[in-house]
Copies of this chain bind each other. A is one copy, B any other.
Amino acid sequence: MATDPAWWALSHAQVVFEAVATIAFAASGLIEAARKKLDAVGVVVVAGLAAFGGGTLRDILLDRRPFFWVQHAGWLWVLLGLSLAAMLFMRARHFAPTERAMLWPDALGLGLFTAGGTQIALDAQLPAIVAVLMGTVTAVFGGVLRDIVCNQIPAAFSDHRPYAVCSFAGGWVMVGAHALAWPQWVALLATAATATLLRVAALAVGYTLPTWRGGR
């Protein structure tokens, strides 16, 4: 099976998937850490939490080892290098990526992490709702940990712009694809595209989630 070209392509595509998503999320951590005036250690740690925190929390919940960043330890060097390079670059240029510039990479990360996380949980034979939840944890809790460490209410829970719900909705595409026995790469693509496009569409339209008004 390891010599099947489709399997080879798929496993490599997934590595690229995870790389893009990971870097986009690390960047969100870099920006947040800079905003809070953290030092170099804080910048690297918060970038790392944003990038690997969601998947690591999912693996702890699923009792799954090794973690992504243990199996591919080279990623820790990439993260360290990129964080330090970004710090040097930003200092020299007085330049910071705007929220607008981050929109697409972040939405891409949301979709890709949702797809990967839900698939892993379904492969572990978990109930559909739990699998979808695991996809959402993978996609969203890196950002949640980033915000908790930066001492603010997680944006995913208070921003009123749909984020976790896009991941949650996307996860059900994976559940359906799994039930219909779609090829894995189709399932991954459909799931990621659903979550990503829902996120981009919601921002474009300016849709906001309801607040609990009665709580006043």
Contact = CB atoms under 8 A, between A and B. Distances in A.
Interface string A151-191: 11110111110111100000000000000000000000000
A102 interface: no
Contacts of A37: 158, 211-212, 215
Interface string A67-85: 1011001001100000000
A36 B95 contact: no
Contacts of A5: none
Contacts of A154: 42, 149
A119 to B, nearest CB: 17
A95 B214 contact: yes
Nearest to A76: B129
B87 A212 contact: yes
A30 B127 CA distance: 25
B149 A212 contact: no
A96 interface: yes
Contacts of A215: 31, 33-35, 37, 90, 96
Contacts of A152: 151
A13 interface: no
A137 to B, nearest CB: 10
A32 B208 CA distance: 21
A212 B129 contact: no
Interface in A1-41: 30-31, 33-41
Interface of A: 30-31, 33-43, 45-46, 56, 60-61, 63, 65, 67, 69-70, 73, 76-77, 87, 89-96, 126-127, 129-130, 133, 144, 148-154, 156-160, 162-165, 208-216
9 contacts: A33-B157, A34-B212, A36-B158, A38-B157, A39-B160, A41-B165, A60-B61, A90-B214, A144-B149
Closest 7 A/B residue pairs (Cβ): A34-B215, A42-B157, A90-B214, A73-B127, A39-B209, A34-B212, A39-B160
